[in-house]
Amino acid sequence: MIGDEKFSWKKRARSFVYAWKGLKALFNYEHNARIHLVATLLAIGCGFFFGISPLEWCVVIGCIGCVISAEAVNSALEAIADKVSPDYDPLIGRAKDLGAAAVMVLAAAAVIIGCIVFLPKFIDLILLIIPT
C-alpha cells in the first residue's frame, strides 16, 4: 500500500537528485523557463545593485520561486498530456492552456511586484544622474 514504506535517508537524498535533474531539464528544454531564468538573474542583480531590504528580498525571491515552480508544473502537465494524447484533443488543449494561463498570471504579478520594488529605485537613480 502507498505510504507503508519505511523512511529512508538514502531515498530522501535520491529525491533531491531527481529534483535537480528536473530543474536542469526545465532550463535545458523549456524555452519559456529560460526567459524566466533571465528575469530571475536580472531581478537578483538589481536587488544587489539597489541594496533592497530583507522584506523586499523575501517578496522578490517568493515571486521567483512561484513563477519557476509554476513553469515546472506546467511543463510537466504538457509532457504528460503529449504522452497520453499525441493527437490534438480539445480537453488536453484546454488543460495545457489553463496551465499556461497559471504561469502567465504569476509572471504578470511578479512583473508588477518587480515594478513596485524596483521602479522607485530606478527613478531615484535617474534623478541622481540627471542634473537639475
Q: Which residues are catalytic?
A: 71
Query: Within the chain, what is the greatest distance between any pair of CA atoms?
Result: 73
Do the Cβ atoms of 121 and 47 come closer than 8 Å?
no
Burial of 110 (0-12, 13-18, 19+ CB in 10 A): buried
Do the Cβ atoms of 78 and 45 come closer than 8 Å?
no
Do the Cβ atoms of 84 and 95 come closer than 8 Å?
no
The DSSP secondary structure of 24-62, one letter per residue, reads HHHHHH-HHHHHHHHHHHHHHHHHHHHT--HHHHHHHHH
